[in-house]
Each structure stands twice: as C-alpha cells, then as structure tokens.
Amino acid sequence: MRTLVYRGPRVLTLEQAEVPSPAPGEIVVRVEAVGICGSELEGYLGHSSVRVPPLVMGHEFAGEVAFRASDADRFDIGAKVVVNPLLACGACDRCREGRPNICRDRRIVGIHRPGAFAEYVAVPEACAIAVPQAMDMATASLAEPLAVCIHAAKLGLAPFGDVLVFGAGPIGLLTVQAARRMGARRILAVDRQPARLAFAERLGAAVSTPDLLDSRYREVFGLAGTDTVIDCVGVESTRQQALALVNPGGKIVLVGLGHDRTTLPLNHAVRQEVSLIGSYTYTAADFDQAVALLASGAVTREGWTALCGLGQASESFATLADGTNPNGKIIVDPRL
C-alpha cells in the first residue's frame, strides 16, 4: 500500500508498505478521507516535539472496515466508520472521571502509532464509530476536529451567550459552527487572512482583522462585551488581546498551541477574575456529538474544504504551511 511518511522538517515521501494485519481487538480501515490538521503542519515544519520521524501521521479520518481480528465483531466488512484516534488507558483516575482526553497514559493514532496518511490503517475496534453508509466520508473525517471545538465551547460558552473566536482556520471555522449549534447569539471571528474571514462570514460570524479588533468588538458586542473567548491560534498576540477584551469574570478557552511560552499581565487576570482554561481534544461524548451533527448535516464542509489525493498531499502540506493554499481545509482521499 502507499503511505505518506514524515521524514523530517518539510520532508514527506510517498512510500510503499505492507498492508497492516489486525492485532487482537483491532480492525483495519481502508482510508477514504483523512484531514490535514494544523498540529500536523507544526509537525511537518519540525515544531512538534511529539511527532518524531519517520512517522505516518493522520488522525482525522474515516473509511470502511476492510479486515478485522477474529475477536473484533462489532462491524461487518464494508461498514463505514469514523475513528476516534485518542487511545486512553481506561483505568487511571482521569479516565474513571470520564476525562480520557487527559488520561495519564494517553496515546494518539498518527503520533504514537501509524496514522491514516495511508491506504490502510489498523486501529482498536473500540475506537471506531459507525456512520451511515451513504455519508460523505470527507465530511465524516471532520468528526475529530469538530469534537475538539465542541469540547472547547462546552468549557467556556454559556447558553445563548456571545463568543469571540481567534482564528478562522479549520478549528476556528468548526468552532463557529459548533457555537452556533450550541445557541451562541453573536460570534466574532478574528483572522489575518481575508479568505478565511470570508469563510467565517458565510458561516454566520461577524469578522475582523486583529488591527481593527478593538472597534469591531464594540460594534458587534456593544458595551456588554462578551464573557467567552476561544483562542484557536495560541500565540502571544491573541492571548494578549483575549485578556484585554474579555469581560471581568469571563473565560478564555485556550485551544491553539502556536506559542509554548507567553508573557501575560496576570495581575489583570487576577483582579478581573478571568479564567484561563486549557482545552485539549475531547471526551467520548463530545466525539459522538460531533458525528451526530455531521451526519445530520447541521455542520458543513461546503465552501471551505477541498480534496486531494495521497500523491498531492505533500504539496498541500507545503502550501498550507506557507499560507498560500486558498482553501480552509484539505482532506486527503488515498484512493485518488
């Protein structure tokens, strides 16, 4: 089978490998769609400490069951599934609390074991979730990033509240849609790229560039401001602006991992009782809700995603990393 192997910064090679055999309790999925994630772009650039070459990345994926171990009988051969790539131990105190996203021994498909930038990938059967046979698999592959956004919105967004979203990349655009489905009244999305802002506007958000944010914020939210900021970028400037703008007693949900270290006026956060909340991946319930929203058509990929084959994926990584790709999200179909 063909695989896309990360060999080092900006080096992805198309290579042949054996089709994996399922271990006990596993299925082998024929990959039909796998999204290029922003965190994988960081890996591609050599900025991710957890992605160690050589590695087949790819953790946002869907496809059909091609093979299965003798003890894996939940799905028929040919069944369509989306895969939750987060592998939790199920036994630690965090898992027992229903928080597998912060499992003390978590592993992720595409980081700690081969991922889905390949024609086939082996995964634990327990991680697979059935989707309708007729469902578009590129849409199904958005379940993983959408679950990230649902989790973040739950941490910070009050019912019928307003929200400021930093970033109109894939996570930002899905956060806009998740917030809308969760009852957000007014949503303001901030980004530097006009094309991304156009996507966000089409999805129902008001938009702003960072340099116009102070005035645009007041136009959208008025004197009431907003109690919730979701930062899908995670650099010093977005964190600084979030802390300056959020209401006293408000919440800043930190999703983006752009900068590891940031200087912030924390005395201001203390005096204003602002909560800084880290948000990492999702729970099983978040993932199930993401699948349900996508299957129902409540969240769409139309207008801001594009497809490519495995042979074109390396070029897509390069243009996404350089900011020259006109699309909000690239989804790879290894069958092309």
Is the same domain home to 103 and 73? Answer: yes
In a domain, 239, yes or no: yes
Query: What pLDDT, on the 0 to 100 scale, is given for residue 111?
Result: 96
In a domain, 296, yes or no: no
Strands 11-16 and 329-333: unpaired
- Return the higher-pLDDT residue of 9 and 48: 9
With CA atoms as reference, report the closest residue to 62 among 75, 72, 52: 75
Is the same domain home to 122 and 174? Answer: no
Q: How many separate domains does the chain show?
A: 2
Is the same domain home to 179 and 53? Answer: no
CATH number at 250 reads 3.40.50.720
Q: How far apart are CA 145 and CA 33, in angstroms?
A: 14
**Segment 211-270, tens digit of pLDDT:** 999 999 999 999 999 999 999 999 999 999 999 999 999 999 999 998 989 999 999 999
Q: What is the pTM of this model?
A: 0.96
Give percent helix, percent strand, percent coil of the chain, each to the nearest 5.
35, 25, 40
Residue 283, pLDDT > 90, answer yes
Q: Band of the pLDDT at 48, cuts 50, 70, 90?
A: confident
CATH number at 311 reads 3.90.180.10
Q: How far apart are CA 262 and CA 321, in angstroms?
A: 22
Cα 48 to the chain's mean position, in Å?
16
Q: Band of the pLDDT at 156, cuts 50, 70, 90?
A: very high
Is the same domain home to 31 and 152? Answer: no
In a domain, 290, yes or no: no
Is the same domain home to 113 and 164? Answer: no
Tokens of 200: 């966000």
Is the same domain home to 251 and 317? Answer: no
Is the same domain home to 319 and 241? Answer: no
Residue 194, pLDDT > 90, answer yes
Asked if residue 32 lies in contact with residue 137, where contact means CB atoms within 8 angstroms, the answer is yes
Q: In terms of residue numbers, what domain contains 102?
A: 2-142+301-333
Query: What pLDDT, on the 0 to 100 scale, is given for residue 180?
Result: 96
Residue appearing with tokens 């602006």: 241
270 φ, ψ to 5°? -65, -50
Residue 185, pLDDT > 90, answer yes
In a domain, 288, yes or no: no
3-state class of 16 per DSSP? Answer: strand
Query: What pLDDT, on the 0 to 100 scale, is given for residue 151?
Result: 98
Asked if residue 100 lies in contact with residue 283, where contact means CB atoms within 8 angstroms, the answer is yes
Residue 49, pLDDT > 90, answer no
In a domain, 292, yes or no: no
Asked if residue 67 lies in contact with residue 28, where contact means CB atoms within 8 angstroms, the answer is yes
By residue count, the chain amounts to: 336
In a domain, 30, yes or no: yes
Asked if residue 291 lies in contact with residue 82, where contact means CB atoms within 8 angstroms, the answer is yes
Is the same domain home to 126 and 166? Answer: no
Is the same domain home to 103 and 181? Answer: no
Last residue of a domain, one of 263, 278, 293: 278
Query: What pLDDT, on the 0 to 100 scale, is given for residue 302?
Result: 93
**pLDDT-above-70 percentage for the chain:** 100
CA distances from 284 to 151, 166, 233, 278 (A): 10, 25, 24, 18
Over residues 24-45, the mean pLDDT reads: 96
Is the same domain home to 171 and 239? Answer: yes
In this structure, the number of other CB atoms found within 10 A of the CB of residue 313 comes to 22
**Segment 79-114, tens digit of pLDDT:** 999 999 999 999 999 999 999 999 999 999 999 999
The sign of the torsion formed by the CA atoms of 313, 316, 322, 328 equals: negative
3-state class of 230 per DSSP? Answer: strand
Is the same domain home to 7 and 127? Answer: yes
With CA atoms as reference, report the closest residue to 107 among 125, 129, 130, 123: 123
Tokens of 260: 């590891």
Dihedral angle, C-alpha 242, 145, 328, 234, nearest 10 °: 30
Q: How far apart are CA 137 and CA 99, in angstroms?
A: 27
**Segment 293-328, tens digit of pLDDT:** 999 999 999 999 999 999 999 999 999 999 899 999
Q: How far apart are CA 98 and CA 255, in angstroms?
A: 20
In a domain, 284, yes or no: no
DSSP character for 14?
Answer: E
In a domain, 294, yes or no: no
End-to-end CA distance of the chain: 13
Tokens of 105: 């021994």
Over residues 24-50, the mean pLDDT reads: 94
Tokens of 242: 């979030």
Query: What pLDDT, on the 0 to 100 scale, is given for residue 127?
Result: 96
Is the same domain home to 209 and 129? Answer: no
